[in-house]
Structure 1
């Protein structure tokens, strides 16, 4: 059995993600908070724009954590936790800071999960687009 080493998400990578998401949000005129977590769920980088609503810091972090834990964009999970969804009890069943609102996206390298980015402060679709723009810069 062979093991392929994958370079973990670095602080430099996190700074690229933060800067790219910030540029996308700034171009749209939306003040945001941006969180980048490593594969273990540890904070690598965080930024909150001066005019971003205070709760956006917490929401960006929870979106990143949710995307990391479930290895899926939070935008893809919203319907699964609605009252008639198959995972409707997940948000309250675990004692974890999960948030099922678009804006969190896992980060992969060579097909392996290495971290996640979360953006909060705009409309959910905007936050998702800012996080997606950041991932394109990392590639």
Structure 2
């Protein structure tokens, strides 16, 4: 049996995710909140722009948690929880803060889930784009 060690998400990684997502949002003229969780679901980093709506903080964290628990982008889950869909009852079946709105994206290393980023404050498609830009920057080892 072979085991491969995968580096965990660090605070430096979290800062790249925060900075890049916020820079992408700023370039679009959107104020946001960004949450970064490690693979255990613990908050590593959080920022809310001064003028971001207060609920953006909560939604960014819930989106991140949802992406972590299900191992996929929240944008890919939106249709699955619609009435008549496979996971329609999932948001209310669990006593956890799941949120099926685009903006939560997992971070993988070596094929393993090491953390997630969540963005709230803009339109769902915008939030997804900001989070995706952050994960891409992290994968490339660059900040905004």
Q: Does the alignment reach a TM-score above 0.5?
A: yes
2:98 maps to 98
Cα shift readout 1:117-137 (whole Å, capped 9, x = no counterpart): 000000000000000000111
Aligned positions of 1:1-139 closer than 5 A: 1-139=1-139
User: How many residue pairs end up in the alignment?
Assistant: 139
Cα shift readout 1:86-138 (whole Å, capped 9, x = no counterpart): 00000000000000000000110111000000000000000000000001110
Cα shift readout 1:22-72 (whole Å, capped 9, x = no counterpart): 100000000000000000000000000000000000000000000000000
Q: Secondary structure at the match of 1:51?
A: coil
Q: Secondary structure at the match of 1:99?
A: coil
Q: Give the TM-score taking structure 2 as reference length.
A: 0.96
CA RMSD for the aligned pairs? 0.4
Give 1:84 shift. 1.1
Alpha-carbon distance in 1 for matches of 2:4, 2:24: 34
Query: Structure 1, unaligned stretches of length 5 or more?
Result: none
Alpha-carbon distance in 2 for matches of 1:15, 1:57: 16
Give 1:2 shift. 1.0
User: After TM superposition, what 4+ stretches of structure 1 lie above 4 angstroms from structure 2?
Assistant: none
